[in-house]
Structures are given as C-alpha cells and as structure tokens.
Amino acid sequence: MLPEHVKLLREYNEGLDKVEKPVLDEQKYEEFNEIICRAMEDNITLQFIYYQKGEIKKFLGNIHYIDGLKGELRIISHASEKCILKLVNIIEIEY
C-alpha cells in the first residue's frame, strides 16, 4: 500500500471512534446550576461527564472556582489534579 493510503485509513479509523456532541436544553443547564451551587456550598465531590474533541470523558473532583466571564469551571481532584471545563462541554454532573 502507498503511504497516502495508509494515512487515509488511519484517519478513517480514528473518525469511527468519534461521537457527536449531545445538545442539552435550558432545563438541564438549570439543573447543573443547582447542583454546582449546592456542591460549592457543602464542598461536595462531583463527577463531571464532558465532551472533548469527539470523545466523552469523566472527571471526579471538587469545584474550586467558577469563571462566569469565560464560562468555565475549575475543578480539583483528590489527587490535586486540576481541570478546567467549559460549561458548554459538560454533558452530565453527578453526585
């Protein structure tokens, strides 16, 4: 096979694993807002399920800061890992 064909096959296979970003309604965002406020008030650990570059990922941690201007959450895990999530990329928040 030619190198060009190999490259195209790799790109095609990578594209098969990608998923489309789910569309959420306003009610879901209101639910997120309530959960976030309660978690910050009581220092509750949350699991965030979010969309990033065609993949669905998870992150477990406590909310450190909300940046309303940028629309971001700054989260710190128990292992002191930091994660910055865009609010528009969050799909689900669970206790």
Can you give the residue range of the structural domain that contains 41? 21-94
Predicted TM-score (pTM) of the model is 0.80
Q: Does residue 57 form part of some domain? A: yes
Average pLDDT, the chain: 91
Q: Does residue 71 form part of some domain? A: yes
Q: Does residue 34 form part of some domain? A: yes
Q: Does residue 9 form part of some domain? A: no
Quick: pLDDT tens for 64-91: 999 989 999 999 999 999 999 999 999 9
Tell how far CA 9 is from the center of its chain.
29
The CATH number of the domain where 79 resides is what? Answer: 2.30.30.100
Q: Examine the pLDDT at 14 and tell me if it is beyond 80.
A: no
Residues 6+ apart with CB under 8 A from 70: 86
Q: For the chain, what is the domain count?
A: 1
